[in-house]
Amino acid sequence: MCGITACIGTADSVDPLMSGLKRLEYRGYDSAGLAVKGQDGLSLTKRVGEVSELASAVEQDSLDGTFGIGHTRWATHGGVTNENAHPHTDESGNIAVVHNGIIGNFQSLRTELEANGHVFSSETDTEVVPHLIEESLRDGATPEEAFRSAVGRLSGTYALAAIIGDEDAIFATRSGSPLVLGIGDGEYFLASDVPAFIPYTDRVVYLHDGDFVVTTRDGYTISDAAGRPVDRSVETVDWDPETATKGGYEHFMYKEIHEQPGALRRTIHGRLNPLSGGVELEEFPSGTFADVRQIHLVAMGTSHHAGMYAASLLSALDIPAFPFMAGEYAVTVPPVTPGTLVIAVSQSGETADTLDAVRRARAAGAKTLALTNVVGSSITRECDDELLIRAGPEIGVAATKTFSSQVTALTLLAERIVEDVTGTASTDAAEIIDALSRLPGDVQEILDTSTSRDVAAEYQDSDAYFFIGRGVAHPVALEGALKFKEISYEHAEGFAASELKHGPLALVTPFTPVFAIFTGKEDEATLSNVKEVQARGAPVIAVTSDRDGEIAEFADHVLSIPETHPDVAGILANVQLQLVAYHAAKLLDRPIDKPRNLAKCVTVE
């Protein structure tokens, strides 16, 4: 949930470190810091607040170093203070460490170290690491031996990078938290995510759990916990550096909403066959899913809503499918019977709850498939198969283009599973393929014509906001409410439309606008619910392609979507709701890309 960056081999490490921290700020923005090594030894600066606070401090008191490490924090152990900010050092100030994850046994280690005379200056779990390294150095270990010894005593999840003594090297490892090596021209980078160093190199090595890497100006070595060399392939990332910047937009979220047509084109590219009306997924040979009898979709947050959407599609096609919050799945694993396929949905591929759910599913005998946005992520290595959504980097904490791409990829996968299980395409396959092929253009039409800004302004002073829908519109309602609440801080709730009369209707007042999502299925029933809330005086905003019909007649406002297949309409409706949330938050002057208490990649449970 924090961001690590490191570099070595550059003439001045401060600029690439600061650049990396700014690009990783979506992973945490409670505090930030960096440590660099130069002719005058190790220099350390850290500040509470966003990376801009650290940048100001560095400008006022310049640092100089040819290699270093940096960190942007989302607090887990200890409050948001300068003392708790990373990097953390030993008492001598010769060892600096940055850490992402949670060290489960830090308290017992701290007690032991304090008994040996070590003095701690923070409340964090991380600070035990430099003290453990210091202890080993005192016993005569080399810096690499001391680093390995310290790591060997840790339990929990971690990605670590360290500068140790006079050694001109950066030592790093990972276990359960992401860490990527970037290979430049005579310079090397380490980071929690590729965008941190994408302006400097597009050549990366995705490190595996248990890998130890030592980088120097002359190169790098990767080995396992026992010190045996391991071979990891060098891959080329096809991300343009511009994709990790705002590109003229005021916020990353708004930029990424507008990137959805391009992201969706990448998601469907080469996967649709309009002539046959079928789906072509080269990752899966024909018959891959022939033995599937039931599907569990495990995910958290926005990805869970995408899983709910897919479960609705699959169930309508007579494939038993059940969405689970991964955190709950890990508590009580549902029955895994022969033919169970567990699909793990995760934007980052590093979500701790989802990874744990996958491990439990595999232990129970299920076949697993990862649906993610990140090549080489942990979840792709944990699962038997993978399907990439190809959305490109997403920096805004509130997921937008990745949700659209997840749902689109899951729609393709659902059609393919049905074809393998039944031996024939679904009844509506050709129509769905056609709708998906038109999807990028349909989204662009919404972006060009949406009246969401006016709707947000009209209802700016409301008491609460409700979102309702049926079928695939239900998870879209949940996602619409989630986007609204997480960036506007206003009270928003999503419901199945049928649930209204079973309790939530008691909360409906003239100051509770209701966003009703219509997809072309169960519209008559949803319209009945609209009439119920209107009878209580609530304003209704209909998200529909029925611009001039009965739905529009009963709505106070219409957010229009193009005509499309009902299974795809929810994706278009979601774009309108993303825009409503964005404009509402902007009117309230919220920190849209950095909502309070949240970070992009949840690598702790």
Q: Which amino acid is at 231?
A: D
Residue 599: predicted pLDDT: 64
Q: Which of 43, 42, 45 is nearest to 55 (CA)?
A: 45
In a domain, 603, yes or no: no
pLDDT confidence tier of residue 147, bands split at 50, 70 and 90: very high
Structure tokens at 250: 């005021």
Kind plus residue range of the DSSP H or E element containing 325: strand 321-325
Q: Read off the pLDDT of residues 428-485 as tens digits, 9 standing for 90 and up.
A: 999 999 999 999 999 999 999 999 999 999 999 999 999 999 999 999 999 999 999 9
The conformation of residue 249, written as its DSSP 8-state character, comes to: -
- The per-residue pLDDT for 78 is 80
Tokens encoding 447 = 């972006």
Q: Out of 50-64, 178-192, 425-439, which region has the weakest mean confidence (pLDDT)?
A: 50-64
* Tokens describing residue 505: 């209707």
Tell whether 599 is covered by a domain. no
Active centre residues (catalytic): 2, 600
What are the start-end ranges of the E strands in 404-555? 465-469, 492-496, 514-517, 540-544
At residue 242, the pLDDT reads 62
Same domain, 417 and 466: no
User: What does the alpha-carbon distance between residue 4 and residue 511 come to, in Å, rounded to a whole number?
Assistant: 45
HSE-up (13 A, CA, CB side) for residue 538: 27
DSSP string covering 425-468: --TTHHHHHHHHHHHHHHHHHHHHH--HHHHHHHTTT-S-EEEE
Counting Cα atoms < 13 Å in the Cβ hemisphere of 161 gives: 32
Question: Does residue 206 share a domain with residue 275?
Answer: no
**Mean pLDDT value of segment 386-406:** 93
Question: Do 206 and 105 fall into the same domain?
Answer: yes
360: domain CATH number? Answer: 3.40.50.10490
Average pLDDT over residues 416-423: 94
Closest by CA position to 180, among listed 196, 158, 199: 196
Task: Compute the distance between CA of residue 176 and CA of residue 40 in angstroms, rounded to an integer.
Answer: 35
Q: Which residue range forms the structural domain that includes residue 322?
A: 246-447
Helix, strand, coil: what percent of the chain each, to 5?
40, 20, 40
Look up residue 94 and give its amino acid. Answer: N
What pTM, to 2 d.p., does this model score? 0.81
Residue 573 and residue 492 share a domain: yes
Query: Which residue, 227, 230, 73, 87, is CA-closest to 151?
Result: 227
Q: Token digits for 514? A: 């209701």
311 vs 334: CA distance, rounded Å:
15
Structure tokens given for 478? 């949940």
Buried residues in 434-463 as b, exposed as e (16+ CB within 10 A): bbbebbbebbbbbbeebbbeebbeebeebe
Our CA dihedral for 540, 254, 396, 251, rounded to 10 degrees, sits at -120
Dump pLDDT digits (tens) for 544-577: 998 878 898 889 999 999 999 999 999 999 999 9
The confidence score (pLDDT) of residue 315 equals 96
How does the average pLDDT of the chain come out, rounded?
91
**Listed residues 432, 447, 462: the one ending a domain:** 447
Query: For position 111, what pLDDT does the model report?
Result: 95
Which token pair is 409? 């990829």
Q: Is the pLDDT of residue 604 over 60?
A: no
Tens of pLDDT, residue by residue over 324-377, are: 999 998 677 678 999 999 999 999 898 889 999 999 999 999 999 999 998 888
Which spans in 12-127 are helix H?
Answer: 14-23, 51-60, 106-115
Whether residues 52 and 82 fall in one domain: yes
> Are 115 and 153 members of one domain?
yes
Q: Which burial class, exposed, middle or buried, applies to 236 when counting CB atoms under 10 A from its CB (0-12, 13-18, 19+)?
A: exposed
Same domain, 333 and 441: yes
Domain boundary among 426, 447, 468: 447
